[in-house]
Amino acid sequence: MTILIEKPELVSQSDCQIHVDESKELVLDGGFPVPKSLSGEGFLAPEVNSFGNSFRDYNAESERQKSVEEFYKQQHVNQTYDFVQKMREEYSKLNRMEMSIWECCELLNEVVDDSDPDLDEPQIQHLLQSAEAIRKDYPNEDWLHLTALIHDLGKVLLLPKFGGLPQWAVVGDTFPLGCAFDEANIHHRYFKENPDCNNPSYNTKNGIYWDGCGLDNVTISWGHDDYMYLVRFLTIIIIIIIKLSKFISLS
Ligand SMILES: [Fe+2]
């Protein structure tokens, strides 16, 4: 994928109308709801998710919980060191498509993230809500608003024109491969069925790595974050935030 940097044209290609008003608030008519407070303080971040639970609670009983757990089972069994090498080689070619940022955002209108316990709506809503929430908390950090807007664009990997990869190869938290799986990972027990568990050189704390080797030398499970890292069309700090945004066992 090649991202073209140009002035975004905020005009809908469907029946959703989008424009910027005088207060520079993004206004969406009939399309994607971005909650705003009545007091005029801008975006009002919700305190519970779409299912009435607190955010990122993977054990909360909800209609979503079972499918999210099944997703993590698939991901933990299928993401191997060799699989990631193969994906990185294939997608480093960046030969899929050329488009603007906004065109790429609109593609996510067709994408739902099966790993997300908080949302089962198209991902373009997640991009807009993330950007608005960060704009509220950090109004002067425009680079951070942009980071939030684009952080999940790599989920286009789910679409046929980008290879139509399965959900387990695109979304969800990420983790290093080539070393033991950390227990901080969500639904850790499913890693025992991963073929890499049978490779003794991958089963120690450091595995094939060494202290101080640097994160750039660590193979991290393949997905939308690493794909955007390969695209590398922005400053390195934004790219590193995107690449590591789902590396939960690091934090
Ligand atoms: Fe996200």
Nearest-Å Rg of the Cα atoms of the chain is 19
80 alpha carbon – ligand 1 mean position (Å):
23
Whether residue 6 has pLDDT greater than 80: no
152 CA to middle of ligand 1, Å?
5
Q: Residue 33: how many CB atoms within 10 A of its CB?
A: 11
Q: What is the pLDDT of residues 176-225, one digit of tens each?
A: 999 999 999 999 999 999 999 999 999 999 999 999 999 889 999 999 99
Q: Using a cut of 0.85, tell me whether the model's pTM lies above it.
A: no
Dihedral sign computed on CA atoms, order 149, 154, 158, 159: positive
For 67-120, how does the pLDDT look when each residue is reduced to its tens digit (9 = 90+)? 999 999 999 999 999 999 999 999 999 999 989 889 999 999 999 999 987 778
Query: How far, in Å, is the centroid of ligand 1 from the Cα of 126?
Result: 7
Alpha carbon of 150 to ligand 1 centroid (Å): 9
pLDDT at 116: 83
244, 227 in Cβ contact below 8 A? no
Distance (Å) from CA 226 to ligand 1 centroid:
13
Half-sphere exposure (Cβ direction) of 61: Cα atoms closer than 13 Å: 0
Residue ranges per structural domain of the chain: 67-250
Q: What is the pLDDT of residues 64-79, one digit of tens each?
A: 788 999 999 999 999 9
Rounded distance, CA 248 to CA 194, Å? 19
Stronger pLDDT, 232 or 156, i.e. the higher one? 156
Residues bordering ligand 1, an ion, CB closer than 5 Å:
152
CA 35 to chain centre: 21
According to the model, what pLDDT value does residue 239 have? 66
Could you tell me the distance, in angstroms and rounded to a whole number, from the CA of residue 172 to the centre of ligand 1?
Answer: 9
**Centroid of ligand 1 to alpha carbon of 204 (angstroms):** 31
Distance 151 CA to ligand 1 centre (A): 6
Using the mean position of ligand 1's atoms as its centre, give its distance from the Cα of residue 200 in Å: 34
CB hemisphere CA count around 174 (13 angstroms): 23
Per-residue H/E/C for the chain = CEEECCCCCCCCCCCCEEEECCCCCEEEECCCCCCECCCCCCECCCCCCCCCCCCCCCCCCCCCHHHHHHHHHHHHHHCCHHHHHHHHHHHCCCCCCEEEHHHHHHHHHHCCCCCCCCCCCCHHHHHHHHHHHHHHHCCCCHHHHHHHHHCCHHHHHHCHHHCCCCHHHCCCCCCECCCCCCCCCCCHHHHHHCHHHHCHHHCCCCCCCCCCCCHHHCCECCCHHHHHHHHCCCCHHHHHHHHHCCCHHHC
Ligand 1 centroid – CA 198 distance (Å)? 32
In the block, which residue shows the tokens 């990420």?
Answer: 174
Distance (Å) from CA 201 to ligand 1 centroid: 33
